[in-house]
Structure 1
Amino acid sequence: MNSTRAQALLGADRTAATDGPRPRGATSIVQVIPARYPYRWIGGSIALLLCVWGLYTVATSPNITWSVVAAYILNGTILEGMRLTIVLTIVSLTVGVILGTVLATMRLSNNPVLQVISSAYITTFRGTPLLIQIIFWFNIALVVPVIRIGWPQAGFGFETQTNVIMTAMTAAILALGLNEAAYMAEIVRGGIISVPKGQDEAASSLGLTKRQAMWRVVLPQAVRAIVPPTGNQLIIVLKNTSLVSVIAARELLTATQQIYSTNFYTIELLIVAAGWYMVMTAVATILQGYLESRLEYSLRSRTHPFHKRFVRSLLSIGRKNYMEVRG
């Protein structure tokens, strides 16, 4: 770039020398020669060719029956599994957000007992694999075979077998929701820390208690910092629902496995499942962008579209002419 600039300046000096002396205050026009980067185009072309070659190889592979992929895209079993995947994602994320907010406030409280409990919970659920947690909750009856609430012998409360309650769906929601709560606790805590300390002090000066200041002043402002990573967690939970296939919960991947275990079109059915996961991920990304745009206050100060500005200018001209006529 320096050599190119030097050549441009040298060319300008030669032009100035041949044209003769310039009047005082006159500026010389420098011809800027843009730098060329041939290796960028070469590297980009090679990457594009590799992508096209890979897609062409997969699309023309004789070992993939694309008619089977098209036949199972809207299969009833696949759609039912996708519906259960969406339900698991929404319920698990809701549990994670609510419990994570409580854990974050516990960790930021002045009570050392609450701080230790919150830290222990986050460390435990973030430190163990999600797959182990799913299997553990599904087999919790080995540890607690009977669930008792109250005093059933005296007629207060009830008693039931754990296997009756702990179905595959219940175990999946517990594992996904409790695991997500540990991550959401750190996200919410980071959002709360991002709020200036003066906001909490101002709320206290207005007579609000510590709890009221947290829920009415600090948390509403922390939402802007919490929403983007929460949208990312939504996508992570959506894909983590595939892990519950180990306990035979009939979500999308389990439904796919049940089909290809009978017709042996393994790759074709996996392509169908991957396609639906990509569709759901794209929808979640769009929702995340919409929420972020709604929470981004700076977007409200942007200029209006052209047709609104055009109408506004016509109204201002008409108002000005009307005032001149009356004057």
Structure 2
Amino acid sequence: MVSGILGLAIGLATGLCRLSKNPTLRDLSTIYVELVRGTPLLVQIFIFYFFIGTVLNLSREFAGIAALSLFTGAYVAEIVRAGVQSITRGQDEAARSLGLSASQSMRHVVLPQAFKRVLPPLAGQFISLVKDTSLVSVIAITELLKSGREVITTSFSPFEILFCVAGLYLLINLPLSKMASRLERRLAQSD
């Protein structure tokens, strides 16, 4: 949950920076997105825990949340960038001709339209984030999969336990998917 909120904030800011006319902002955000998207999440978790976490004395939980947030943020940034670029230039030009500033045009005209287009991929990204939380178990954070593995060591019933864990992930993700579908339909009706 925390990683999803932080990832959304990071992704929104980074996605808009990728569209910036300021070359420094654009280049820094592009480097961040390409670096994070070009490396496996598991490697990033290890780097946050064993390198950055050791240097800054971060807890396992903080390192896990930071890695998941930055990973999600990079993907959300691309979703936001693509969503904004999918809105025709004429929308922005019309808003500007009515006297709106660039930021007002973005906030009041472009982003509301882009939101409708980015909702399905954002929902998919957040469902992936829920599944990606299983990777933080490698740095000894107890989450659903790690709890299941601990039960397996005492029950010696790996298949039953893993099917239960998979079922629990479905119980978490299916309502998220349904909520996103409803919101998407509601937004489509408002057009």
TM bucket (normalised to shorter chain) is over 0.9
In structure 1, the residue corresponding to 2:100 is in which secondary structure?
coil
* Corresponding residue number in structure 2 for 1:25: none
Q: Shift of the alpha carbon at 1:263?
A: 2.7
Query: Is 2:28 the partner of 1:136?
Result: no
The aligned residue for residue 269 of structure 1 is 161
CA–CA separation in structure 2 for the residues paired with 1:217 and 1:283? 30
Partner residue of 1:208 out of 88, 95, 100: 100
Q: 1:220-259 maps to which residues of 2 (within 5 A)?
A: 220-259=112-151
Amino acid paired to 2:144: L
Q: Distance in 2 between matches of 1:263 and 1:107?
A: 50
Letter in 2 for 1:183: Y
* Identity within the alignment, %: 44
Counterpart Cα distance in 2 of 1:116 and 1:227: 26
Select the structure of larger CA radius of gyration: 1
Letter in 2 for 1:261: T
RMSD: 1.4
The match for 1:59 is none
Residue 37 (structure 2) aligns with: 126
Alignment match of 1:183 (pick from 51, 75, 78):
75
Shift of 1:292: 0.5
Amino acid at match of 2:178: I
1:96 aligns with 2:7: yes
CA-to-partner distance for each residue in 1:188-245, whole Å, 9 max, x for gaps? 1111011121111122122222122112211011111010111111111111111111
* Cα deviations by residue, 1:284-325 (Å, 9 ceiling, x for unpaired): 111111110121136x8xxxxxxxxxxxxxxxxxxxxxxxxx
1:160-210 CA deviation, whole Å, 9 max, x = no partner? xx33xx222211111111001111111111110111211111221222221
**Separation of aligned partners in 2, 1:136 and 1:263:** 33
SS of the residue corresponding to residue 257 of structure 1 reads helix
CA distance in 2, matches of 1:105, 1:276: 35
Shift of 1:280: 1.5
Aligned residue runs from structure 1 range 1-327, under 5 A: 90-139=1-50, 140-142=52-54, 144=55, 162-163=56-57, 166-297=58-189
1:262 Cα shift?
Answer: 2.4
Letter of the 1:104 counterpart: G
Amino acid at match of 1:217: V
TM-score by length of 1: 0.56
- The residue type paired with residue 281 of structure 1 is N
Q: Give unpaired runs (5+ residues) of structure 2.
A: none
Q: How big is the shift at 1:110?
A: 0.8
State the one-letter code of the partner of 1:257.
R
The aligned length equals 190
Structure 1 141/285 Cα, relative in aligned 2: closer, same or farther at 3 Å?
A: closer
TM-score by structure 2 length?
Answer: 0.94
Q: Which structure dedicates a bigger proportion of its chain to helix?
A: 2
Output the CA distance in 2 between the equivalents of 1:174 and 1:251.
16
SS at match of 1:296: helix
CA distance in 2, matches of 1:141, 1:119: 25
Aligned to 1:77: none
